[in-house]
């Protein structure tokens, strides 16, 4: 029975993953390169737990117990020394992840399972850098982690069946719904989502319709809670571009080629919510969705 989890990377996803494990009684060590992201993550987790208390989804005691279950560390080797499962949720960069996995493999206990939350990097490639490829697996949580039910569980080429079974039952213990997929570019979530987003951007680029019209068709016509252009802004246009490049390079099929408008927007630093502008503009003072001047 897994009880000790170490999460590497305390950003958007890492703090959410730590939150759900701690809330479900696991001992979590959250690791990052310095103290600042760890403090920010703890503050975010506390705020999000408090929101659950105010919605009467958790009691104040459950919130306090969850916070007590989390410790932090800036030393990776120390932070994983008792781990039974390590979940890597560091920045999406292949070289960085390979370096981290080499280090985790050397420092983690022998039977420890090594998981990655990568959105697009090959699990098989990450596993191949370790001495235990059969113990390496993808656990692709969705953002925001405490809210979203799905975990895409990705089997690398060498992942052992017992490891997959352990991770599937762990997801259920967290109240999540796992879906098992094999390791090919984009897995399932992004293989289907990103071409849809790219097609929406192509429709705008070719002046088939405006930003609001494209999003309205998909929201009201297909019952999507968010239109594809708004969703792209939320995910980050740089992230969308990088995943499309993974699909394009991985399959060698021109149908995945990123739309030139997406490439231009990323080059110009228009990355969506995180930069304040993408297909829409974002400001702390205005919560309304306003189409960017460029597309009016």
Q: Tell me the residue number closest to ligand NAD, measured at CB.
A: 11
Q: Would you report the helix, strand and coil content of the chain in percent, each value rounded to 5?
A: 50, 20, 30
Backbone angles phi, psi at 117, to 5 degrees: -95, 15
Smallest gap from Cβ 40 to ligand NAD, in A, equals 8
Q: Please, what is the angle between helix 228-235 and helix 237-251, to 10°?
A: 100
Smallest gap from Cβ 174 to ligand NAD, in A, equals 16
Binders of ligand NAD among residues 110 to 169 (CB under 6 A) are 117-119, 140, 143
- The two structure tokens encoding residue 42: 């703890």
Active site residue 19: no
Q: CA 145, CA 196: separation in Å to the nearest integer?
A: 23
State yes or no: residue 9 binds ligand NAD (CB under 6 A): yes
Q: CA 95, CA 256: separation in Å to the nearest integer?
A: 23
State yes or no: residue 241 binds ligand NAD (CB under 6 A): no
**Binding test (CB under 6 A) with ligand NAD, winner from 4, 5, 7, 8:** 8
Considering 69, 190, 203, 292, which one is annotated as catalytic? 190
> In terms of DSSP H, where are the helices of 148-286?
161-173, 189-205, 211-216, 222, 228-235, 237-251, 260-267
Active site residue 56: no
State yes or no: residue 231 binds ligand NAD (CB under 6 A): no
Q: What angle do CA 255, 257, 260 make, to 5 degrees?
A: 130
Considering 48, 69, 119, 242, which one is annotated as catalytic? 119
Active site residue 283: no
Asked if the peptide bond before residue 84 counts as cis, ω within 30 degrees of 0, the response is no
Active site residue 152: yes
Per-residue x/- mask for ligand NAD, residues 34 to 63, rule CB under 6 A?
---x--------------------------
Residues of the shown chain interacting with ligand NAD in the complex, contacts defined by CB under 6 A: 8-14, 31-33, 37, 76, 89-92, 96, 100, 117-119, 140, 143, 235
Active site residues: 119, 140, 152, 190
């Amino acid at each position: 029975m897994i009880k000790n989890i170490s999460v590497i990377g305390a950003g958007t996803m890492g703090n959410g993953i730590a939150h759900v494990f701690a809330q479900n009684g696991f001992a979590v060590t959250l690791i990052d390169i310095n103290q600042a992201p760890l403090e920010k993550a703890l503050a975010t987790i506390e705020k999000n737990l408090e929101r659950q208390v105010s919605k009467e989804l958790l009691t104040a005691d459950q919130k306090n117990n969850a916070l007590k279950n989390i410790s932090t560390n800036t030393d990776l080797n120390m932070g994983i020394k008792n781990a039974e499962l390590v979940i890597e949720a560091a920045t999406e960069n292949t070289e960085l992840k390979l370096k981290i996995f080499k280090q985790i493999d050397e420092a983690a206990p022998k039977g420890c399972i090594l998981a990655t939350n990568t959105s697009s990097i090959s699990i098989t490639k990450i596993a191949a850098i370790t001495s235990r490829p059969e113990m390496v697996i993808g656990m692709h949580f969705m953002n925001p982690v405490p809210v979203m039910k799905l975990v895409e569980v990705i089997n690398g080429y060498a992942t052992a069946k017992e490891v997959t079974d352990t991770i599937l039952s762990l997801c259920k213990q967290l109240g999540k719904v796992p879906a098992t997929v094999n390791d090919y570019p984009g897995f399932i979530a992004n293989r289907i989502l990103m071409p849809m987003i790219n097609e929406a951007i192509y429709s705008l680029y070719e002046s088939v319709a405006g930003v609001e019209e494209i999003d309205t068709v998909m929201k009201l016509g297909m019952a999507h809670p968010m239109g594809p252009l708004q969703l792209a802004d939320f995910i980050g246009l740089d992230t969308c571009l990088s995943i499309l490049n993974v699909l394009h390079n991985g399959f060698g099929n021109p149908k995945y080629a990123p739309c030139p408008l997406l490439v231009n927007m990323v080059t110009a630093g228009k990355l969506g919510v995180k930069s304040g502008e993408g297909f829409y503009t974002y400001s702390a003072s205005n919560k309304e969705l306003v189409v960017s001047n460029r597309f009016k």
